[in-house]
Structure 1
Amino acid sequence: MKQWNRRKATVLILVISILFLVTVAAAGSQCSDAARATDFSRKNLLPCLEYPFGTDWMGRDMFARTLKGLSLSILIGVLAAAISAVIALVLGICAATLGRRADGVITWVIDLIMGIPHMLLLILISVAAGRGLKGVIIGVAFTHWTSLARLIRAEVMQLKESPYVKIAGKLGKGKWYVAYRHILPHLLPQFAVGLVLMFPHAILHEASITFLGFGLTSEQPAIGIILSESMKYLVLGKWWLALFPGLALVVTVIMFYLLGENLRRLIDPNSAHE
């Protein structure tokens, strides 16, 4: 009964996380005009019922701007994490199935990328790709695949020693056939969990480089831009300009983390009896 209740709690947290993220993304997509609308008659208003997050120095609704910024972060996180996870899956399988030379090259690339300071590499790739939304997605996608690729490579190495994989090879099946029919299905749970757990990292790094001025342009109400612009007004007592967007970003990241962890508990057989 205790295990059943724990499993129901896991499913409940998973559903709550998904509903929260979907609601924020959907609401933010509808706030584009409200997030940019200026009205100097209402500038620098404290949080109230009409404006829960207050207004800024241009009279813009901070609640609408925060929702729009979070929806942009979720979009970037989903796209970048999906691309990064596919790269990790393909390279992880190739490293473990195409022989020592391919394994050596891919392992060397992984070590090279992990040896470069993460934020520096992310900024360089984003700037080289043209900054903006496209540059940030490419930068985040090409810097977050290494850990998952290592995990998948190690998993494939273990699966290659399985009797059914060896039998398939002795029956004359090719490496790609074995990888597709016998190895890939066993990797999907790790792939799904790794994909979801990349989301919070992608969102935080997008906000970080945007905050530093290397990410999205100032015309877009991204969370990083909101926090960057609010810094100069904190000394003037406009505390709500940074507090609420920052808290909203933290809650969103926590929801993604809870989504990934509870998905892992449901999928991973080793966690079934925790």
Structure 2
Amino acid sequence: MSTDLRPPSSAAQPGRPEPAGDGSRTPRWRDRRTRTLTAVAIALALVVAVAVAGTLAAGPAATTDLAARHEAPSWGHPFGTDAYGRDLLLRTLVGLRLSLLVGLTAAAMSGLIALVLALVATVGGRAAAAVVGWLVDLFLALPHLVLLLLLAFALGGGTQAVILAVGLTHWPRLTRVLLATSHEVAGSDYVATSRALGHGRLHVARRHLAPHLVPHLSVGAVLMFPHAILHEAALSFLGLGIDPGQPAVGVLLQDAMRTLSAGHWWLAVLPGLGLLLVVKLVDRIGEDLRLLLAPRSAHL
């Protein structure tokens, strides 16, 4: 009787990974990365579509029709009409485009402030680091909405005032993130070698620190974008934001409060849902970018 003493094949051994075969199977991490990139592309396309539609709707949104005032949502007017018979869907698209522009400008301003402060604190010595740390703690200690209201009121209200107010108050948390990254880079061997070769602080900040901070800055600015949009809408709702003559979402919600008790619910609910959808899309873009750019992310 013959006995087969050969070891079992790899396919029969439990707990052992299967062979790669011909290499046609896509790795799991690459498949997840592809899905994340697809989600980012879809969300970005939707946001761009809203901005383009708002640009095209600027003219028709101002057309009045008193015979069709306060009409409920229908096929002809999916969002209904307002007190002057203007199509609420077109006005919402124009308001969302305006909110996107304000949020983009304010987020870019806050990101630039955070980047400059992080670089100054890292290469400026102990005194500069102490001043930047004190500023960050001061702004984080103040109530955010109260600070927004005070700045918008001091600047006189209007579109420029809300951009400045939002842009000047959203940088502290991003500054902390950039400070942590810049301190880690500043303690690396190649930065020490660069300084030993006689390179100054500006060279170190420009050639070594800034390239490492840009990915974190990009993701942080995108994640600030939804907060900037919501705070712009809040300031406009309180009368300190966008000029009342422009159909910003906050202005639409403020106007809806006057007739909401009469049963015209669509004037507040539908523009609010549109704003929520755009905010969630931008927030999704920021979260997916964070997962794509984070080198230690489990998503990859």
> Normalized against structure 2, the TM-score is what?
0.89
Alpha-carbon distance in 2 for matches of 1:178, 1:37? 57
Alpha-carbon distance in 1 for matches of 2:130, 2:95? 41
Alpha-carbon distance in 1 for matches of 2:299, 2:239? 47
1:80 alignment counterpart: 106
Alpha-carbon shift at residue 23 of structure 1 (Å): 0.9
CA deviations over 1:63-85 (Å, ceiling 9, x no partner): 01100000000000001100110
Identical aligned residues as a percent: 45
Alpha-carbon shift at residue 273 of structure 1 (Å): 4.8
CA separation of 1:273/1:197 partners in 2, compared to 1, >3 Å: closer, same or farther?
closer
1:258 alignment counterpart: 284
Runs of at least 5 residues in structure 2 that lack an aligned partner in the other structure? 1-26
1:233 to 237, 256, 259: 259
2:48 to 22, 28, 38: 22
2:150 to 107, 118, 124: 124
Alpha-carbon distance in 1 for matches of 2:204, 2:241? 42
CA separation of 1:207/1:170 partners in 2, compared to 1, >3 Å: closer, same or farther?
same
Alpha-carbon shift at residue 149 of structure 1 (Å): 0.8
Paired letter, 2:116: V
Alpha-carbon distance in 1 for matches of 2:60, 2:244? 16
**Secondary structure of the corresponding residue to residue 246 of structure 2:** coil
1:137 alignment counterpart: 163
Alpha-carbon shift at residue 45 of structure 1 (Å): 0.9
2:207 to 172, 181, 189: 181
Alpha-carbon distance in 1 for matches of 2:239, 2:90? 22
**Secondary structure of the corresponding residue to residue 234 of structure 2:** helix
1:219 partnered with 2:230? no
Paired letter, 1:138: L
Alpha-carbon shift at residue 5 of structure 1 (Å): 2.2
Alpha-carbon distance in 2 for matches of 1:197, 1:95? 23
Alpha-carbon distance in 2 for matches of 1:184, 1:48? 53
CA separation of 1:135/1:273 partners in 2, compared to 1, >3 Å: closer, same or farther?
closer
Runs of at least 5 residues in structure 1 that lack an aligned partner in the other structure? none
Alpha-carbon distance in 2 for matches of 1:255, 1:154? 28
Alpha-carbon distance in 1 for matches of 2:44, 2:173? 25
CA contact (8 A) 1:266 1:272 kept: no
Q: CA RMSD in A?
A: 1.2
CA deviations over 1:184-218 (Å, ceiling 9, x no partner): 11111101101111110100000011111111121
Alpha-carbon shift at residue 128 of structure 1 (Å): 2.2
Alpha-carbon distance in 1 for matches of 2:299, 2:188? 25
> Normalized against structure 1, the TM-score is what?
0.97
1:66 alignment counterpart: 92
CA deviations over 1:215-271 (Å, ceiling 9, x no partner): 112111000011111123222111111111010000000000011011111111112
Alpha-carbon distance in 2 for matches of 1:198, 1:4? 28
CA deviations over 1:114-154 (Å, ceiling 9, x no partner): 11111111122122223211111101000001111111111
Paired letter, 1:131: G
1:10 alignment counterpart: 36
2:217 alignment counterpart: 191
Paired letter, 2:140: M
CA contact (8 A) 1:218 1:225 kept: yes
Alpha-carbon distance in 2 for matches of 1:168, 1:36? 60
Alpha-carbon distance in 2 for matches of 1:177, 1:110? 25
Alpha-carbon distance in 2 for matches of 1:272, 1:75? 33
2:77 to 51, 74, 78: 51
Moved over 4 A (4+): none
Paired letter, 2:54: G
**Secondary structure of the corresponding residue to residue 25 of structure 1:** helix
Structure with a larger share of its residues in helix: 1
1:201 alignment counterpart: 227
2:121 to 88, 95, 105: 95
Alpha-carbon distance in 1 for matches of 2:221, 2:267? 32
CA separation of 1:203/1:167 partners in 2, compared to 1, >3 Å: closer, same or farther?
same
Counting matched residue pairs gives: 274
1:247 partnered with 2:273? yes
CA contact (8 A) 2:61 2:86 kept: yes
1:115 partnered with 2:141? yes
